[in-house]
Amino acid sequence: MRAIAATLGHLAGREVAVVGSGRMAAATARALARAQARVHVVARRPEAAEALAAEGGGATTPLER
């Protein structure tokens, strides 16, 4: 997160996509939510994306196959 913030500045209000719903994606989504970014979770399993997005008040974006 420090590298992202150093490059982009503050993350509050920025829209950010997180691809996946595994441990690394979940940790990233949580950190982004704490930084007040608007998180969109995209994953193969919609239920996993919805659960992760709900944790941080984020949204899901359908993954087109």
Q: How confident is the model at residue 6 (pLDDT cuts 50, 70, 90)?
A: confident
Q: What is the pLDDT of residue 4?
A: 74
Residue 21 lies in a domain: yes
Percent of the chain at pLDDT exceeding 70: 98
Residue 36 lies in a domain: yes
**Cα–Cα distance measured from residue 60 to residue 43, given in angstroms and rounded to the nearest whole number:** 8
Residue 65 lies in a domain: no
Q: How confident is the model at residue 61 (pLDDT cuts 50, 70, 90)?
A: confident
Question: How large is the average pLDDT for residues 20-33?
Answer: 93
**Cα–Cα distance measured from residue 32 to residue 38, given in angstroms and rounded to the nearest whole number:** 8
Cite the beta strand spans of 1-64 per DSSP E: 15-19, 38-42, 59-60
Question: How large is the average pLDDT for residues 29-44?
Answer: 93
Residue-number span of the structural domain to which 26 is assigned: 2-60
CATH number at residue 43: 3.40.50.720
The 3-state DSSP class for residue 13 equals coil
The total domain count for the chain is 1
Q: Bigger pLDDT: 56 or 53? A: 53
